[in-house]
Amino acid sequence: KAPSYHATPPSLTPRSCGILSRVKGMRGRLFVMTGASGVGKGTVRAKVLERTRLFYSISMTTRPPRPGEVDGVDYYFVDRPTFEALVREDGFLEYAEYVGHLYGTPRAPVERALSRGEDVLLEIEVQGALQVKRAVPEAVLIFLLPPSLSELKRRLVYRGKDSPEKIQKRLEQAEWEIRNAHLFDYVVVNDVLEEAVADFLAILTAERRRSGRMGEALEMALRRDLALEAELDEILRRRYGGTGH
């Protein structure tokens, strides 16, 4: 059972290219990373953030910290009444309940970063990712996939943080999530870590190179450096005679 949600081209002239030049002052791009518990989202995310510039939005949760997790770094850890108060204030971009705990993305930090033109990365649960896609259709959703459910179970067992009952719940949830991966824009298989990171970075690069976001480069490509061209024309004149035109 699926869990419920909380819901013939024109020629490029300098003038037309100027219309395309929207990079300066353009809002950032929202990237949403998701996948089953235990698939390695945190590990892939950490590697990606080491290699490209992104504003990482820290999620809020009512679950207790795991060993080694730091409040304000891994998550904002809060109690349920605090979380529910922020829900009533419309303070979340998305939120969902997963295996008995609430998870959500505070809205304000994301909006501020996007307004500054920064690309933002969310690492959230599948329910929340689908909410974001409905609220922000231009968001890019990336689903991190395990090689198999058996491999996912192996990772959960060796992680040593969950009881057998909880692992079974996570696997049932994972099966539903994987069956809905077709709703996402991209799928990355996390079998070999470095390959998964490379695939993730390739998606970021491709999205950043879409023509609609490359207006400044298009405009620059049509500019003429008259001083340079005068030098080149002189070289051609000396080599071949005439004006060089």
Q: HEC string of 136-151?
A: CCCCEEEEEECCCHHH
At position 169, the amino acid (one-letter code) is K
* pLDDT at 16 exceeding the cut of 70: no
- pLDDT band, very low/low/confident/very high, at 215 (cuts 50, 70, 90): confident
Instruction: Kindly list the strands in the beta sheet with 92-98, ordered across the sheet, starting from the edge strand earlier in the chain.
Output: 76-77, 60-61, 101-106, 92-98
- % pLDDT > 90, the chain: 73
Banded model confidence at residue 24, pLDDT cuts 50, 70, 90 = low
Measure the CA–CA gap between 226 and 211, rounded to whole angstroms. 27
Between 98 and 76, whose confidence is greater?
A: 76
- Top-confidence residue, 13 or 45: 45
Residue 67 gets the label, from left (phi > 0), alpha (psi -120 to 50) or beta, of: beta
Do 140 and 207 touch, CB atoms closer than 8 A? Answer: yes
β pairing state of 120-123 and 30-35: parallel
Helical packing angle, 41-51 and 193-208, nearest 10°: 50
Mean pLDDT for 84-113 is: 92
For residue 128, pLDDT beyond 90: no
| Tally: H helices and E strands in the chain | 10, 9
The whole model's pTM is what? 0.78
Confidence of residue 245 (pLDDT cuts 50, 70, 90): low
pLDDT at 99: 78
